[in-house]
Amino acid sequence: MAVDEVAHLCFLGLIIAKPEYLHGGAGNRDTKKGVSATGFANILWLVNSAAFRPSRFNGLNMDRFRELRKTLAGSERVAQFCRENLRRVVHRDVMQALLFDQYDYMKRLRANGGAPDILYREKIAILIGTYVNDRVVAARLDFPDLKRDEVVAVTPRSMVEEAMMRKEGLIA
Distance from C-alpha of 60 to C-alpha of 80, rounded to nearest angstrom: 14
DSSP letter assigned to residue 24: E
**pTM of the shown model:** 0.79
Indicate whether 135 pLDDT > 60. Answer: yes
DSSP letter assigned to residue 88: -
Domain boundaries, the chain: 2-51, 62-168
In 54-168, which residue ranges form alpha helices assigned H by DSSP?
62-69, 74-84, 92-98, 115-119, 132-140, 159-167
**pLDDT tens column, 74-114:** 999 999 999 999 999 999 999 999 999 999 999 999 999 99
Averaged pLDDT for residues 107-134? 96
The pLDDT-based confidence of 137 (bands split at 50, 70, 90) is: very high
**pLDDT tens column, 76-87:** 999 999 999 999
**What is the fold of 62-168?**
Arc Repressor Mutant, subunit A (1.10.10)
- Let me know the angle formed at the C-alpha of 16 by 10 and 20, rounded to the nearest 5 degrees: 110
